[in-house]
């Protein structure tokens, strides 16, 4: 008989402004990998916190290993044996892997620590899990994959019963992500229970025994393994098809050429892109993103190659001159990295416009004119003074319509769908299409191709910094990513 690890019955959790969990029901068993797909983000953080710590709830009951640990009658604030692995490291950077795994845990009371003994124990654990990690490595030098492996080891040593993996696909390369999923499967076979939280069913289905869809703080669908298919999840998804005709631009003067681009990672990469076209550059290594952004911004000089914009050869030693005007980059985690939350919407909107227009400053009259121009598309949000009061869709509007205003020749978008729920992903696709229709060339730098193909006109598959294959929409179904 299966041993139950977690059960939540009719749980309601509220704060003064909203209901976070609304009649929430879920259960899982020992050795099971349960996938959780968020149609939107409501309640996910509260759910994780409630599973970890028995804080007060308005209604319902929570059982851990068949023991009632929390209810609307009584919550003692105790911790459950749960470990969360997410995008933020829980390791101490200045300490070694061994120190983090063994020493920094509750119940460790030894005053004399034998590094040799701990090293032997850690190597034995690594052998059992069939993973490689240097015990003496300082954690600040670990890759994201190695950091996640170290946190799995830490969870094992802490004696947890349940591991929550929260949205790691955006920080791991494709290869590392596959290896980490293999590790999770091994953990499940050793009777550890795992809740795997992600934003896309293509990421969730291959690894999970069951999957649940969560929307507005409640479970709206449970899928067993045999039900995990595109057809079964289709009624709960949003159509991402483009209903407007595509732009066909055949004028070669608007074509942008990248000739034999070489960096520390890229090796003689050549391709062209037309105005209004979208190309996905897919590479399982995250090095593509870092190298591309660094040479476009001028932080890293090209080893060789040139970029040609409308028959104009850009000076490879002065790329900073074009960055932010003719070439724009929308970075990964754009909501954090590309917005100034102490500035108003319109001041954010006009950021870099002075460089584009060669003005020393943008006058209030110009700003008012821009607000009037974009009011039709954006509504009252263009007059917002505090970005913190806006939802995610409005913030993404600000980022992408700012590019629309700058009207560069080309925009590079790094992992545009990272950390985005289903509704936000649909909106980002809509915004990318708006840029394409204005005639802006779009290059998506991706380590995951989910959703990117809805806006792509071509996909270039790179391996070890070199283009290996080129795919068009009628051959997207034939894309094969090697292990």
Q: CATH: 3.90.230.10, 3.40.50.300, 1.20.1740.10, 3.40.190.10. Which one for 252-478?
A: 3.40.50.300
CA angle 442, 320, 172 (to 5 degrees): 55
Confidence of residue 111 (pLDDT cuts 50, 70, 90): very low
| pLDDT (0 to 100) of residue 18 | 82
Beta bridge partners of 272: 257
Residue 34 has pLDDT above 60, yes or no: yes
| pLDDT (0 to 100) of residue 247 | 60
Residue 296 has pLDDT above 80, yes or no: yes
Q: Are 414 and 332 in contact (CB under 8 A)?
A: yes
CATH topology identical between 4-236 and 252-478: yes
Q: Are 151 and 91 in contact (CB under 8 A)?
A: yes
Q: Are 438 and 258 in contact (CB under 8 A)?
A: no
Query: Which letter does DSSP use for residue 209 in this model?
Result: S
Topology, domain 4-236: Rossmann fold (3.40.50)
Distances (CA, A) of 300 to 15, 441, 464, 466: 47, 23, 19, 19
Residue 294 has pLDDT above 50, yes or no: yes
Distances (CA, A) of 193 to 53, 151, 155: 17, 15, 12
- Spatial CA neighbour of 249 closest among 265, 231, 215, 272: 272
Output the average pLDDT for the chain. Answer: 88
Structure tokens, 372: 């009037």
Q: What is the pLDDT of residues 357-401, one digit of tens each?
A: 777 688 999 999 999 999 999 999 999 999 999 999 999 999 999
Phi, psi angle pair for 415, to nearest 5°? 45, 60
Query: Which letter does DSSP use for residue 442 in this model?
Result: E
Residue 483 has pLDDT above 60, yes or no: no
| pLDDT (0 to 100) of residue 480 | 65
Q: Enumerate the domain spans of the chain.
A: 4-236, 252-478
Q: What is the pLDDT of residues 472-481, one digit of tens each?
A: 988 887 776 5
Structure tokens, 199: 């934003």
Give this prediction's pTM. 0.79
DSSP labels, 129-142 = HT----TT-BGGG-
Q: Are 241 and 65 in contact (CB under 8 A)?
A: no
The set of residues, in sequence order, having a beta carbon less than 8 Å from that of 473 and lying 6+ positions away, is 453, 456, 457
Buried-exposed string 330-367: b where 16+ CB fall within 10 A, e elsewhere? bbbebbeebbeeeebbbebbbbbbeebeeeeebeeeeb
Confidence of residue 129 (pLDDT cuts 50, 70, 90): confident
Confidence of residue 290 (pLDDT cuts 50, 70, 90): confident
Q: Are 44 and 199 in contact (CB under 8 A)?
A: no
């Amino acid at each position: 008989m299966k041993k139950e690890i977690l059960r939540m019955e009719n749980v309601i959790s509220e704060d003064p402004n909203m209901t976070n969990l609304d009649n929430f029901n879920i259960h899982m068993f020992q050795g099971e990998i349960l996938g959780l797909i968020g149609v939107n983000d409501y309640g996910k953080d509260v759910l994780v916190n409630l599973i970890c710590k028995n804080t007060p709830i308005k209604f319902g009951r929570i059982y851990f290993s068949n023991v009632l640990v929390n209810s609307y009658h009584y919550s003692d604030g105790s911790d459950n044996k749960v470990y969360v692995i997410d995008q933020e490291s829980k390791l101490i950077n200045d300490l070694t892997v061994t120190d983090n795994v063994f020493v920094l845990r509750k119940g460790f009371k030894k005053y004399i620590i034998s590094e040799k003994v701990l090293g032997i124990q850690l190597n034995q654990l690594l052998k059992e899990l069939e993973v490689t990690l240097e015990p003496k490595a300082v954690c600040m030098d670990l890759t994201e994959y190695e950091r996640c492996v170290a946190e799995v080891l830490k969870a094992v040593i802490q004696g947890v019963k349940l591991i929550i993996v929260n949205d790691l696909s955006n920080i791991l390369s494709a290869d590392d992500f596959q290896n980490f999923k293999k590790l999770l499967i091994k953990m499940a076979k050793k009777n550890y229970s795992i809740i795997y939280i992600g934003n896309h069913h293509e990421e969730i289905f291959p690894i999970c025994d069951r999957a649940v869809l969560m929307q507005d703080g409640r479970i709206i669908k449970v899928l067993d393994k045999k039900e995990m298919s595109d057809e079964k999840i289709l009624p709960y998804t949003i159509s991402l098809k483009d209903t407007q005709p595509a732009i066909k631009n055949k004028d070669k003067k608007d074509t942008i050429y990248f000739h034999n681009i070489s960096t520390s990672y890229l090796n003689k990469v050549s391709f062209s892109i037309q105005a209004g076209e979208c190309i996905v550059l897919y590479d399982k290594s995250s090095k593509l993103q870092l190298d591309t952004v660094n040479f476009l911004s001028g932080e890293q000089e090209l080893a060789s190659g040139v970029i040609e914009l409308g028959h104009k050869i850009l000076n490879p030693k002065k790329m900073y001159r074009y960055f932010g005007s003719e070439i724009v980059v929308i970075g990964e985690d754009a909501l954090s990295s590309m917005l100034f939350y102490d500035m108003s919407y319109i001041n954010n909107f006009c950021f870099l416009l002075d460089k584009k227009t060669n003005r020393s400053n943008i006058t209030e009259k110009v700003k008012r004119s821009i607000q009037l121009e974009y009011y039709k598309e954006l509504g009252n949000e263009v007059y917002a003074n505090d970005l913190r009061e806006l939802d995610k869709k409005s913030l993404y509007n600000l980022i992408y319509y700012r590019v629309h205003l700058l009207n560069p020749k080309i925009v590079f978008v790094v992992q545009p769908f990272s950390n985005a729920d289903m509704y936000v992903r649909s909106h980002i696709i809509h915004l990318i299409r708006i840029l394409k229709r204005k005639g802006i060339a779009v290059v998506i730098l991706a380590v995951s191709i989910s959703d990117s193909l809805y806006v792509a006109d071509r996909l270039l598959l790179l391996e070890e910094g070199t283009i290996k294959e080129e795919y068009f929409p009628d051959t997207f179904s034939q894309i094969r990513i090697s292990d």
